[in-house]
C-alpha cells in the first residue's frame, strides 16, 4: 500500500496484503517502545524504500575509515546523535544514527577484527546477520565479514 502522492481525502485502494518486511514493521510499531532498536532498524531497512534509505545514510559518510580509530570515532559521533526517545519512536533520523553506529561496529570487526562497543553484545550479534541482507552490496559484504569474524572469535575463545 503506497499513499505516496495522493492528496488528502483521496481514497487509496485498501490492501491488507502483508509480506515479511511489512510484518516486521507492523510488529515494531505494535511493540512500540518495547521493540528492540535492532528490530526496529531491521524493519525500517526491510521496507520497500529501506535500501534506498540506508544508501542515503551511508552516502553521508562515503569514505570508509582506514584505521581502527577512525571506526571508533565514527561510532562515537553516531552514538552522540542517537536520541533514545526518538529511536524508540522509530524516528528515521534516530534510526539513521543507529545504523551508522552499528555499521561502525561492523566495520571495525570486518577490517580490524576488533569489538569496539561496550553495548549489548548479544543485541549487536543478533543484529549484524539480521541487518546485512537488507543493505547495499558494499555494506552487506562488510556485515557478512563482521559476522564471520565474530564466529571466528567465538571459536578461538573455546
Partner 1 sequence: MANGYIMASYVRPLSMYCRAIGLDQSLKMDADDIVHGFFASRLGNCEYLTAWLGSGLRLRQWLRNGLHMYVHETRRANSAHPSDGNVQSEEDVERSSASDYEFEHGWAIAVLELAIKSTIESLERRKRRDEWEMFWSHHIDGNSHASIGERFKLTAAQVAQRTFAVAGQLRDALREILAKDGASAIEIELELRAMMEVMHELRR
Residues that bind partner 1 (CB under 8 A): 1-4, 7-8, 11-12, 14, 16-32, 34, 39, 42, 44, 46-50, 53, 89-93, 129-130, 133
- Among residues 154, 14, 35, 133, which one has the least CA distance to residue 90? 35
**Minimum CB–partner distance for residue 79 and partner 1 (Å):** 21
For 97-111, b where at least 16 C-beta lie within 10 A, e where not — what string?
bbbbbbbbbbbbbbb
CA-based nearest residue to 26, from 4, 12, 46: 46
Residue (19 or 157) nearer to partner 1, CB: 19
Name which of 2 and 76 has its Cβ closer to partner 1: 2
Tell me the angle at which helices 92-112 and 37-46 cross, rounded to the nearest 10 degrees: 100
Residue 26 CB-half CA count within 13 A: 8
Q: How far is the CB of 114 from partner 1 (least distance, A)?
A: 25
CB of 7 to partner 1, least distance (A): 8
Q: Nearest-CA neighbor of 112 among 65, 79, 48? A: 65
Taking the least distance from each CB to partner 1, the nearer of 69 and 148 is: 148
By C-beta, is 10 or 63 nearer to partner 1? 10
CB of 127 to partner 1, least distance (A): 10
Amino acid at each position: 500500500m503506497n499513499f505516496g502522492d495522493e492528496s488528502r481525502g483521496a481514497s487509496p485502494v485498501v490492501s491488507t496484503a502483508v509480506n515479511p518486511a511489512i510484518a516486521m514493521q507492523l510488529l515494531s510499531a505494535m511493540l512500540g517502545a518495547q521493540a528492540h532498536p535492532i528490530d526496529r532498524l531491521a524493519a525500517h531497512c526491510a521496507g520497500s524504500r529501506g535500501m534506498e534509505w540506508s544508501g542515503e545514510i551511508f552516502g553521508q559518510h562515503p569514505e570508509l575509515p582506514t584505521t581502527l580509530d577512525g571506526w571508533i570515532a565514527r561510532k562515537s559521533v553516531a552514538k552522540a546523535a542517537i536520541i533514545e526517545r526518538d529511536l524508540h519512536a522509530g524516528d528515521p533520523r534516530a534510526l539513521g544514527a543507529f545504523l551508522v553506529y552499528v555499521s561502525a561496529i561492523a566495520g571495525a570487526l570486518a577490517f580490524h577484527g576488533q569489538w569496539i562497543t561496550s553495548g549489548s553484545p548479544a543485541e549487536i550479534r543478533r543484529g549484524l546477520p539480521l541487518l546485512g541482507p537488507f543493505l547495499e552490496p558494499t555494506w552487506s559484504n562488510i556485515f557478512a565479514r563482521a559476522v564471520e569474524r565474530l564466529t571466528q572469535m567465538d571459536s578461538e575463545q573455546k
